[in-house]
């Protein structure tokens, strides 16, 4: 006699198995040559004409990229563009009419939903692991040092080689790009959300790089003395102390000086370098903005025009 638990298990198994059967042919094994050391990871085809999404740290600096499909086909791939700040990259193979998967809306996922990962851990090609979405809205640092926002946490087992592979929902849509695990913890794994990937890959496909606003300072987080917070009526208790300025940069042209403490840009508070990075990512290049700074214990304002980080 079948119990309700049996029916639940059957339904779960059918869901997970269905995602694998529908999507696994779009997941690829990536082998790269960096110097004398071979490395690898995973990726997935997101267009029928051979565009593949993966992690930046998998392919960045690679001299050669080779792709293997689940059916054994192999192909050389070329780097279209990568963004170390979000750990995302697009590569392409010269093949047509490929099976591909679609990116879903990562804003719609909920804690407790089924999470299905397909990748190539330790070279074991097209391995499936399943679990749940453990948490949302996490932050983690990319290898460049910037924060990646809205990161998805899952307990679907990930291992070296899973990097760049897809994290699916129960409908077979990619909601995350697997990027990191915490060692030696078990069941704490992270994925870059698909909505971030959509924005990044669109710009990589068009320009091969991500353009971010740049002002040209070196700085460090500092705690503001209580007197400055009180006298300046500041809604923050920390800011960025400017420790260096690049010659001819926007900061140099705006008259920023070493020792200035940045606490705001336009009407947005800035209490840390991460805050400034986040705001500059969203701000337009070539448009003027107003920095709120503390200079010699007094609050003042500086007009600055960010330039492209590529200039």
pLDDT at 2: 55
Out of 24, 42, 82, 87, pick the active-site residue.
87
Section 128-136 average pLDDT: 95
pLDDT at 86: 93
Residue carrying the six token digits 């070493």: 258
Radius of gyration for the alpha carbons in the chain, expressed in angstroms and rounded: 23
Q: What would the CATH number be for the domain defined by 213-308?
A: 2.30.42.10
Q: What is the mean pLDDT of the chain?
A: 90
226 labelled catalytic: no
Out of 57, 106, 272, 275, pick the active-site residue.
57
Same fold, 106-198 and 213-308: no
All structural domains of the chain with their residue ranges: 4-93, 106-198, 213-308
pLDDT tens per residue across span 252-289: 999 999 999 999 999 888 989 888 888 887 778 889 99
pLDDT tens per residue across span 147-168: 898 999 999 988 888 999 999 9
23 labelled catalytic: no
Number of H helices, E strands in the chain: 6, 20
Topology classification of domain 106-198 = Thrombin, subunit H (2.40.10)
Class of domain 4-93: mainly beta
Instruction: Tell me the HSE value of 181 on the side-chain side, using a 13 A CA sphere.
Output: 16
pTM of the complete model: 0.83
pLDDT tens per residue across span 243-262: 999 999 999 999 999 999 99
Out of 106, 134, 142, 163, pick the active-site residue.
163
pLDDT tens per residue across span 81-107: 999 999 999 999 999 999 999 999 999
163 labelled catalytic: yes
Higher pLDDT, 19 or 237: 19
Non-local CB neighbours of 210 within 8 Å, separated by 6+ positions? 81, 83, 85, 86, 200, 203, 204
What is the band of 185 on the pLDDT scale with cuts at 50, 70, 90? low
What is the band of 32 on the pLDDT scale with cuts at 50, 70, 90? very high
Cα 47 to its chain centre, rounded Å, is 20
């Amino acid at each position: 006699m079948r119990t309700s638990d049996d029916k639940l298990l059957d339904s779960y198994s059918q869901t997970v198995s269905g995602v694998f059967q529908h999507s696994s042919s779009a997941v690829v094994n990536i082998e790269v040559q960096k110097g004398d050391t071979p490395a690898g990871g995973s990726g997935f085809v997101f267009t029928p004409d051979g565009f593949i999404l993966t992690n930046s740290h998998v392919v960045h600096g690679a001299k050669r990229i080779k792709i293997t499909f689940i059916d054994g086909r192999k192909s050389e791939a070329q780097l279209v563009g990568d963004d170390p700040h979000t750990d995302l990259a697009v590569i392409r193979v010269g093949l047509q009419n490929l099976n591909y998967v679609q990116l879903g809306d990562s804003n719609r996922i909920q804690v407790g939903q089924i999470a299905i990962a397909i990748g190539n851990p330790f070279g074991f090609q097209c391995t499936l692991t399943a679990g749940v979405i453990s948490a949302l809205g996490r932050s983690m640092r990319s290898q460049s040092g910037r924060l990646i926002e809205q990161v998805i946490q899952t307990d679907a087992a990930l291992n070296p080689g899973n990097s760049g592979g897809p994290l699916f929902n129960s409908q077979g849509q990619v909601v995350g790009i697997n990027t990191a695990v915490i060692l030696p913890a078990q069941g704490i794994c992270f994925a870059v959300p698909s909505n971030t990937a959509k924005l990044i890959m669109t710009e990589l496909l068009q320009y091969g790089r991500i353009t971010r606003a740049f002002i040209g300072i070196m700085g460090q987080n500092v705690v503001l003395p209580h007197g400055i917070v009180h006298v300046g009526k500041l809604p923050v208790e920390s800011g960025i102390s400017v420790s260096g300025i690049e010659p001819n940069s926007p900061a140099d042209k705006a008259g920023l000086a070493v020792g200035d403490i940045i606490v705001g840009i336009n009407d947005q508070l800035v209490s840390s370098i991460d805050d400034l990075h986040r705001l500059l990512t969203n701000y337009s290049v070539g448009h003027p903005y107003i920095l709120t700074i503390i200079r010699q214990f007094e609050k003042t304002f500086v007009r600055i025009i960010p330039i492209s980080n590529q200039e």
